[in-house]
Amino acid sequence: MILAFFDGKTHVALAMARDGLLPRRLAKVSRAGVPVGTTLVTTLVVSTIASFRPLGDIVALANAGTPLAFSTVAIGMLIMRRRGRR
């Protein structure tokens, strides 16, 4: 389940970078289509959290991540509508 969150997060961040909501340099992909920038940033954040926190805290973060992801998408859509992009 956490691996699916990891993969989903990198693709959501890639889409946000392509839309201009994150720095454009994060929107780069490899020849195979893998989002390199967002994968590296997500890997660093996740590995840092995993090295210092117990498993129970990580599970709680994963459970809180789902509504956070939906909120991020909703806020991104509001920003894009305000800017006139659809």
The pLDDT of residue 71: 92
Q: pLDDT-based confidence at 1, cuts 50/70/90?
A: low
CA distance 64 to 83: 29
- Check whether 85 has a pLDDT greater than 70: no
Q: Which helix (H) or strand (E) holds 61?
A: helix 55-83
Q: What is the pLDDT of residue 75?
A: 93
Task: Say if CB 34 and CB 59 are below 8 A apart.
Answer: no
Q: Which domain holds residue 77?
A: 2-83
The token pair at 27 is 């929107």
Show the tokens assigned to 71. 């909120």
- Domain total in the chain: 1
Question: 69: exposed, middle or buried (C-beta count within 10 Å: 0-12, 13-18, 19+)?
Answer: middle
pTM of the model: 0.60
Q: What is the pLDDT of residues 5-54, one digit of tens each?
A: 677 778 888 888 889 888 988 888 889 888 888 888 888 988 888 899 89
- Find tokens 């990198």 and name the residue: 10
